[in-house]
C-alpha cells in the first residue's frame, strides 16, 4: 500500500492499518518455521511436527468460537489486549519448552487458542468502529495484513539462520506491541464497545442468536469447504513440485505471486465488484467459482504453468471473499456480529485440520489428480452453500447493497 492510497482514509484508520501490518509481519516470522524447528532443532519426526500443527489448529478453532462468544461479556479491550498478551507470553516461553516435547505442543495449543480469540474481536471492532466504511476498511486491513505476511515470511528465513528463538521472540514482541497499541488506541479514541451482558440477555434470550442460522450457518460450511480445497497447496502442489524435480523455490514463487497480486490487482478486483459481483453474496459465490476454476487448472494443465494460472485465479477468489464475509456479518449480525464471526471462523478452521489429512491420503494413493479433483469438488460445494445463503438473504439490504457503495475508493497500486 503506497502513501497516496493512505490519503483515502482518516488518520484514525491509517494508524490502525499500519499497526495491523506490523502485527501480521511479526506473526509471519514464526509460523513457516514450526515444522523446521521441531525437525531440525528438537530432533522430532515430521509426523510429530504435523501433530503439533494440528494441536495449534484445534486451539485456533476453539479460540475463534470463544472469542466471538465472549465479546460482549468481556469487552473488546479485555478480549484483544488480554489475548495478545497471553500470546506474547506463550511465544517468549516457546524456546524454553524445547526440552519438553509435551510442553512445546501444549504451548502451541495455548498460542493458537488466544491468538484466534483476538481475531473475531478485532473484526467486530472494525465493523463497529467504522460503520460507514466498514467494507472498505476490511479490504484495506486485508491488504495491509498480506503485505505484512510477505515481509515477515521473507525475513523469517534470515532470522532462523541466526536463531529460531530470535524468530519466536520477535513474534512475541510484535504481539505485545500490538496489544499496547490497541490499549492506547482505545483510550485515545474512546472507541471501546462496552460489555453489556444484562442487555444482551434481555434482548436475545440466551442462546436465541444461535437459532438465526441463515445468518451464519451456510457461510461457515462454505468456509470449511474452501479451506479443505485450499489444502491442495501444501498437500498436493508442494509434493508434486518436489517429485517432478523442480527447485523448492518454485513453490515459494507461487506465494510470492499471491502476495504481489493482492497488492497490485486491487483496481481490477474493484472493477469485478462494480460489474460482475455487485453485492456481498455475489462476491462470495464468485469467489468459490474462481477457486474451483483455479484448482481445475491443475487437471487441465498438469504442469507448473497450470499451477501459476491456478494461483492467479485462486488469489482473485481470495481477494473477493476475504473482506466480504466479515463485512456482511458485521451488517447482518448487528450486536451479535462477534458471535457469528467467531462461529464462521471456527467452523471454517476445521477445514484446515481435515483437508491436509484427506489430501495427503489421496496424494499417496494417486498423486496430484485425485487431490485436485477433491479441491475442485470442495470449491463447488462451497459455491453451492454460498448460493443457498444468497437465496435465504435475497431480499435483505445487507446482501444486495451495491459494491460501488461498499468499496468507494479502491486501494491503488
pLDDT in tens, 392-412: 877 554 444 444 344 333 333
CB neighbours of 285 closer than 8 A, spacing ≥ 6?
Answer: 277, 383, 386, 387, 390
Instruction: Give residue 295's pLDDT band: very low, low, confident or very high (50, 70, 90).
Output: very high
Please count the structural domains in the chain.
2
- What pLDDT band is residue 278 in, cutting at 50, 70 and 90? confident
- Model pTM greater than 0.85? no
Last residue of a domain, one of 162, 192, 222: 192
- The verdict on 219 and 179 lying in the same domain is no
Task: Please indicate, yes or no, if residue 409 is contained in any of the structural domains.
Answer: no
Query: Is a pLDDT exceeding 70 seen at residue 192?
Result: no
| pLDDT at residue 151 is higher than 70 | yes
> Which of residues 57 and 40 earns the better pLDDT score?
57
Per-residue pLDDT tens digits for 174-185: 888 888 888 888
Residue 83 sits in the same domain as residue 217: no
Instruction: Inform me whether the pLDDT recorded for 159 exceeds 80.
Output: no
Whether residue 2 lies inside any domain: the answer is: no
300 has pLDDT over 90: yes
At 78-132, the pLDDT tens digits run: 888 999 999 999 988 888 876 788 888 899 899 989 988 888 888 888 888 877 7
State residue 406's pLDDT score. Answer: 40
Q: Are 118 and 80 in contact (CB under 8 A)?
A: yes
Q: Is residue 404 part of a domain?
A: no
- The share of the chain scoring above pLDDT 70, in percent, equals 83
Domain that includes residue 26, residue range: 11-192
pLDDT for the residue numbered 35:
66
The pLDDT-based confidence of 139 (bands split at 50, 70, 90) is confident
* Confidence class for position 195, pLDDT limits 50, 70, 90: very low
Compute, in degrees rounded to 10, the torsion defined by CA atoms 315, 137, 324, 317: -10
Indicate which CATH number applies to the domain containing 366. 1.20.1250.20
CA angle 398, 349, 342 (to 5 degrees): 45
Identify the top-confidence range among 8-22, 340-354, 391-405.
340-354
Tens-digit pLDDT profile for residues 216-258: 899 999 999 999 999 888 788 888 887 888 887 787 788 788 8
Residue 373 located in a structural domain: yes
Residue 5 lies in a domain: no
Of 287, 295, 274, 292, nearest to 389 by C-alpha is 287
| 187 and 56 in a common domain | yes
Find the Cα–Cα–Cα–Cα dihedral 389, 376, 374, 390, rounded to 10°.
0
pLDDT(381) > 90:
yes
Say what the pLDDT of residue 203 is: 45
Amino acid at each position: 500500500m503506497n502513501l497516496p492510497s493512505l490519503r483515502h482514509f482518516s488518520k484514525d484508520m491509517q494508524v490502525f492499518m499500519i499497526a495491523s501490518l506490523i502485527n501480521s509481519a511479526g506473526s509471519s516470522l514464526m509460523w513457516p518455521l514450526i515444522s523446521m524447528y521441531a525437525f531440525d532443532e528438537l530432533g522430532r519426526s515430521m509426523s510429530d511436527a504435523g501433530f503439533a500443527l494440528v494441536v495449534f489448529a484445534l486451539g485456533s478453532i476453539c479460540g475463534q468460537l470463544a472469542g466471538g462468544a465472549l465479546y460482549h461479556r468481556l469487552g473488546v479491550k479485555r478480549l484483544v489486549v488480554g489475548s495478545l498478551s497471553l500470546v506474547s507470553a506463550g511465544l517468549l516461553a516457546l524456546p524454553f519448552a524445547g526440552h519438553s516435547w509435551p510442553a512445546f505442543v501444549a504451548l502451541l495449543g495455548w498460542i493458537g487458542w488466544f491468538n484466534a480469540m483476538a481475531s473475531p474481536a478485532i473484526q467486530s471492532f472494525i465493523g463497529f468502529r467504522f460503520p460507514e466504511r466498514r467494507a472498505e476498511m476490511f479490504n484495506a486491513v486485508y491488504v495491509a495484513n498480506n503485505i505484512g505476511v510477505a515481509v515477515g515470511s521473507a525475513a523469517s528465513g534470515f532470522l532462523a539462520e541466526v536463531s529460531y528463538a530470535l524468530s519466536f521472540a520477535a513474534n512475541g514482541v510484535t504481539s505485545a506491541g500490538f496489544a499496547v497499541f490497541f490499549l492506547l488506541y482505545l483510550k485515545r479514541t474512546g472507541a471501546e464497545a462496552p460489555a453489556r451482558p444484562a442487555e444482551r440477555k434481555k434482548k436475545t434470550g440466551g442462546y436465541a442468536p444461535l437459532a438465526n442460522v441463515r445468518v451464519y450457518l451456510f457461510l461457515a460450511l462454505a468456509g470449511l469447504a474452501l479451506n479443505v480445497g485450499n489444502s491442495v497447496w501444501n498437500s498436493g502442489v508442494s509434493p508434486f513440485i518436489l517429485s517432478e524435480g523442480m527447485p523448492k523455490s518454485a513453490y515459494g514463487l507461487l506465494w510470492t505471486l499471491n502476495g504481489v497480486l493482492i497488492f497490485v490487482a486491487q483496481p481490477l478486483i474493484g472493477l469485478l465488484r462494480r460489474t460482475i459481483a455487485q453485492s456481498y453474496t455475489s462476491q462470495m459465490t464468485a469467489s468459490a467459482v474462481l477457486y474451483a476454476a483455479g484448482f481445475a487448472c491443475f487437471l487441465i494443465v498438469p504442469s507448473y504453468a497450470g499451477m501459476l494460472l491456478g494461483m492467479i485465479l485462486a488469489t482473485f477468489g481470495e481477494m473477493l471473499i476475504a473482506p466480504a464475509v466479515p463485512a456482511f456479518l458485521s451488517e447482518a449480525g448487528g450486536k451479535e456480529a462477534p458471535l457469528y464471526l467467531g462461529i464462521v471462523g471456527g467452523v471454517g478452521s476445521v477445514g484446515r485440520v481435515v483437508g491436509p489429512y484427506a489430501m495427503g491420503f489421496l496424494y499417496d494413493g494417486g498423486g496430484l489428480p485425485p487431490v485436485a479433483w477433491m479441491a475442485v469438488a470442495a470449491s463447488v460445494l462451497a459455491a453451492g452453500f454460498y448460493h443457498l445463503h444468497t437465496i435465504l438473504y435475497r431480499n435483505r439490504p445487507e446482501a444486495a447493497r451495491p459494491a460501488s457503495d461498499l468499496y468507494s475508493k479502491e486501494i491503488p497500486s
